[in-house]
Each structure stands twice: as structure tokens, then as C-alpha cells.
Amino acid sequence: MTITRHELRQGKLSFTIWTVSIAFLLMVCVFLFPEMKGEMKAIGALFSSMGSFTAAFGMDRLNFGTLTGFYAIECGNVLGLGGALFASLIGASALSCEERDRTAEFLLTHPVSRVRITTEKLAAVLMQITAMNLIILSLSLLSMALISEQIPWKEILLMHLAYFLMQIELAGICFGISAFLRRGSAGIGLGLATIMYFLNLIANMADRAEFLKYITPFGYCEGADIVSDGALNAVRVAVGMVFAGCGILAAYLKYCKKDIH
Amino acid sequence: MDAISIRQLTKYYGTARGIDQISLSVAEGEFFGFIGPNGAGKSTTIRTLLGLIRPTSGKAQVLGLDIEKDREAILSQTGYLPSEAVFYSGMRVRDILKLSADLRKKNCRESANQLCERLQLDPSRKAEELSFGNRKKVAIVCALQHTPRLLILDEPTSGLDPLMQKEFFDILRERNAAGATIFLSSHILSEIQHNCTRAAIIREGKIIACDRVEVLARTNAKRVSIHGTAELGTLDGVRDLKISSAASTFLYSGAISDLLAVLSQGNIQDLSISEPDLEEIFLHYYSD
């Protein structure tokens, strides 16, 4: 656990900034809800009449006037994008940062196997993502209680579960990529998360692009689907977890054989 | 038993040469020097021994263990001092030393404190605030604190002031006397000549000489200096000729009788013939 502990300590500042930022934005959104609810008639009509833009964010199928509908859209953009960026970023830098910062020589000349380094670094990534999601979920629930709204437990928990799984998937894929990288990990991580986000928007707008939902993890995070189905799309989640598994497997295979510079 | 035994070790980075068919053995307890200019393959050899990079072909054993199969067992008994020490940002010296000891699953606090004191290193400083020389000291403590059986040092003295260099070599000699094997890679010949018993010379990825330091220094070349004039142009085996108004000096590797014949024809007031030092040998090995 020495390496995991060290990784967590090294990532503390970045973790704190991301968690506080996402939680803060999410809470601000929730606190805006009571005020928005009153004006919802007008806004709802506006939001649902913006054509494909409306469809892109799933606003054609959600009722902006309910906390669930409001949260599904706000949450989808704040936690969805923020969490995805954070997960991709830490995944992509996990293995490559040692070579980028030229500390690889220090770490790898100690008697620790490459498998152990990979495992402990992966554990640190997963622990940070888990901790972040638990903190954000608690603060989000707290803020809902503070505005005295009935908490739609099932929908909220399902949505947060979906975002958590999405972050695991992105982190897993980026972790695999990071084993191949020496530098430039941040760009690749952020780029991947952004592309996945836009793929989902495209899939929402065009019926012919529906298959993209199986490629991007945002496909199973769609608030509108979760609320109307009352469940996650198991096939899309399963495909996503296979992607994550492949990424992690690739990381082990590559990192254990890699020449370290 | 050999502390290091390398057989036909080759490493190519794509098509670029790292090292080519290197064979070398270092006995346990030896103070061994590894000399060569930058880019000759010193670091490649060391990095391969430590398992940072995989050899293209060939075999090597460290402390009787295979470098590819027994990496962790080798590393647990080895201390490595990199030529350029880089540490995690935001960490204090004390935390780095603790991290290094934890990764070895050892408690080295006492020996770390002693080493910090001898090297005048303040463990409460932050790593990124340290000068190059002080970062080097951190790396030295990391390499030594767990009292390894084998020490691999890659250009250890760069950045250290002369007093620190002396203290550092004192520590190394103590460790060596206590039984540790020392593998010292350097391009500073005096360091090798003053400390090592045996040395290998590497050039363009190949070992071109490996012997006791005195033997390396005792090739057939002699350092000749003469006061006076002589027709040196007719002599074979003259190198590194320096002529000033008072004296001429050169490295001579031809027959001594030819030298004496030429000198006796000239007008010589004074003459000295001595063993060249390693620096000159180095030129000798690298001049063709």
C-alpha cells in the first residue's frame, strides 16, 4: 500500500480542487431549483422548443419543473462532464507521470514489481474516483434536504451510479493509454472525455447515430433514459465495463514489459 | 561469486546502438570502475542491470540472480545512485527517505540520520528547493541507507563540492571495507584511479579494455619529456606531442631502443620517462 498511499498524497490537491468545484456547482444548481420552479412554465416551453439542441441535452423528454428532471439535466452536465474530465485526467497520468516527471528511475529501482506498481496506482485512481463520488453524492443530497424538496432517491442514486460507472470506464481506458505514454497525458485524457461527451450529444440529436450510445459511456448516463426506464441500460454498461477491463489489461501487459526512460 | 556477470549483453533502441555484446564480470567485494565518455553506453548498461530496460539479447546476473527474472530480489540488495536525481515535487527530504525505506520495507531512520549528518543534508528541506548538489545528497542517502550488498553509482560526484566528494568517497571506502561491492561509472578518470581496484573502459557501446587499474595505466606507452632538441619526426609511436620553448612531452608506444637512438642524435639537456596516468591512457584508448 506504500505506493497507493504515496499516490493519494501526491494527488491530494488536484482531488480537492476537482471535488470542491464539482460539488459547489452542483449545490448551486440545486439551490437555484426553488426559484426556477416558479418560472418553469415559461422556461420549460423555451427549453423544449430549441429543436435538436433540446434533444442533445435530453430536454425533450424530461420535465424541467420537477427536481428529478431538473437534476437529470444539470447533474448530467456538471457531474457528468466534470467527473469524466477528472477521471480521465487521473487515469491518463497514473502510469505516465513517473516518466514525464522523471521520477520513474527512483520508483523503479526499488524492489517493487511492475505488477505491484500498476495495481497500487490503479487502486489509487479507483479510490479517488470512489471518494469523489461519495462526497459529491452526500453534498448533493444535503443540498436537496436544505431546499426542503422530497428527495427522489431511486432516480438520484441511479444517476450517480451511472456517473460513477462512467468515470470508472473512462479511467480504465485512460489508464491503459497511460502505460503507452511518456508525456502529453493530460491532453489525451481531457480530449478523450470531451470527445465521448460530444459523441453522446450527437447520438441524442440524430437517430442514425444511435449506435454511438454503445461506444460512449455518456450513453448510459442519459438522465432522460434513466428516469423513464427506472434502471440503467445493462447492455451499454456491460459494453462500457468491457472497455474499462481492456484498458486495464492493456496497462498491465504494456507496463510490465516497457523500457523506462 | 561474481557480484555482476554480464555475457554478450546487447541493447538497441530501435536501430540506435545502446550497448553491443558487452561481457564483464565484477567479483563480490570489488571496487570497480566503469569509464567512458558521454553516450558510450555506461548508463544503458546500468539501466539494463537494474531492469529499467530490457536487453535486446544476451544475459546478465547480479548477485547470482537473473536480471530479467529476479528483478526485485536484485533491487532489494542493491543501492543505485542515478546521475541525475529527480524527486517528487512537494516532498520534504525526510519524506523521500522514508518513502524509499518503505518501498524496501525497511526501517532505515538511524542510518539515514547518520548519512544526512555526514553529508550535511537538512532533512526538513523541500526537495524542489534543493540545489543540484543537495539533491544528489538525497539520492546518495537513498542509495546507501539500507546498507546494500551492491552499490551502483552513475556519475556520483557531479554537483558535489570537493569536500563533499571526499566525504562521499570516505563513506564508499568504509562500505567497501565492510564487504559491499561498488560499481562506479564515471568519466572522471582520477576518481577511478584513486578509488577503484579494477576498471573497464567502454567506447561506442563496446568494452575496449578491462583490467586492474595499474595494468590499464601500464600499457606499453610511456610519457616522455625532454629538454632540448631531437628529430622526433622520424619516430613511430609518438602521440599527444606538445612542444614548448623549454620542453617537449609526448606519449611514446614504440620500441625504447629506437627512442634512445633518436634522442642520442639530438641535443638533450634533461630527460624523464614515466608511466602515464589514466587520463593519458584514456586518450590512448580513444585516439584511434
In angstroms, the Cα distances linking B9 to B24, B56, B80 are 9, 8, 20
Distance of CA A45 to the CA centre of its chain: 30
Q: Concatenated DSSP letters for A70-132?
A: HHHHHHHHHHHHHHHHHHHHHHHHHTTHHHHTT-HHHHHTSS--HHHHHHHHHHHHHHHHHHH
Interface contacts A/B by beta carbons within 8 Å: 63
Task: Kindly list the residues from chain B whose CB atom is less than 8 angstroms away from the CB atom of residue A1.
Answer: none
Q: What burial class does residue B241 get, using C-beta atoms within 10 Å of its C-beta: 0-12 exposed, 13-18 middle, 19+ buried?
A: middle
Q: Do residues B92 and B48 make contact, with C-beta atoms less than 8 angstroms apart?
A: no
Looking at per-residue confidence, does B284 or A190 come out higher? A190
Name chain B contacts of A257, Cβ cutoff 8 Å.
54
Residues of B in contact with A3 (CB under 8 A): 103
Give the cell for residue B197.
581496484
DSSP symbol at A61 = T
**Amino acid A131: pLDDT:** 98
CA dist., res. A55 & res. A73, Å (int): 11
Cβ within 8 Å, pair B80-A3: no
Higher local confidence (pLDDT), A225 or A135:
A135
Above pLDDT 70, what percent of chain A?
Answer: 96
Q: In chain A, which residues have their Cβ closer than 8 Å to the Cβ of B89?
A: 101
Which residues, 6 or more positions from A133, have their beta carbon under 8 angstroms from its beta carbon?
A83, A160, A163, A164, A167
Amino acid at A199: L
pLDDT tens digits for range A79-128:
999 999 999 999 999 999 999 999 999 999 999 999 999 999 999 999 99
What nine digits make up the cell of B29?
A: 567485494
Where helices occur in chain B by DSSP H, the ranges are 42-49, 71-76, 93-103, 109-118, 132-144, 162-177, 189-195, 213-217, 256-265, 278-286
The answer on pLDDT for B148 being more than 60 is: yes
d(CA B285, CA B288): 7
Please give the residue of chain A at the shortest CA–CA distance from B77: A111
CA B177 from centroid of its chain's CA atoms? 18
The mean per-residue pLDDT over the stretch A14-20 comes to: 97
How is residue B184 written as a grid cell? 562506479
Q: Is B76 within 8 Å of chain A by CB? A: yes
Round to whole Å and give the CA distance between B275 and B258.
18
Confidence of residue A241 (pLDDT cuts 50, 70, 90): very high
Taking CB atoms and an 8 Å limit, are A2 and B82 in contact across chains? Answer: no
Give the residue, A235 or B222, on which the prediction is more confident. Answer: A235
Helix (H) or strand (E) holding B250: strand B248-252
Place of cell 609518438: B238
Is A107's CB within 8 Å of B90's CB?
no
pLDDT at A210 over 70: yes
The position carrying cell 519524506 is: B95
B52/A2 CB distance under 8 A: no
Helix, strand and coil content of chain A, in percent to the nearest 5, comes to 80, 0, 20
The sign of the dihedral angle between the CA atoms of B190, B192, B195, B199 is: negative
In Å, how far are A222, B261, B273 from B229, measured between CA atoms?
95, 13, 16
Does the distance separating the beta carbons of B72 and A109 come in below 8 Å?
no
Residue A59 has pLDDT above 70, yes or no: no
How sure is the predictor about B231, in pLDDT bands with cuts at 50, 70 and 90? confident
Residue with cell 516527471: A101
Mean of pLDDT values over B177-205: 91
- CA–CA separation, B136 vs B165, rounded Å? 11
Q: Do B80 and A109 touch (CB under 8 A)?
A: yes
B52:A259 CB<8 A: yes
Q: Spell out which chain A residues touch chain B, with contact meaning CB-CB distance below 8 angstroms.
A: 2-3, 6, 10, 101-113, 257, 259-261
- Cβ atoms of B48 and B22 closer than 8 Å: no
pLDDT in tens, B97-109: 999 999 999 999 9
Would you state the torsion angle of the CA atoms of residues B274, B280, B284, B288, taken in this order, to the nearest 10 degrees?
A: -140
Q: To the nearest whole number, what is the mean pLDDT of chain A?
A: 90
Which stretches within A179-211 are classed as H helix? 185-205
Long-range pairs, B262-265, Cβ under 8 A, ≥24: B262/B230, B262/B231, B262/B232, B262/B234, B262/B235, B263/B226, B263/B230, B265/B230, B265/B231
Interface test mutation site (partner A, options B10, B50, B52, max chain A beta carbons within 10 A): B52
Q: What is the pLDDT of residues A37-50, one digit of tens each?
A: 777 666 666 777 77
Report all structural domains of chain B as residue ranges with CATH numbers, in order of start. Answer: 2-215 (3.40.50.300), 222-286 (no CATH)
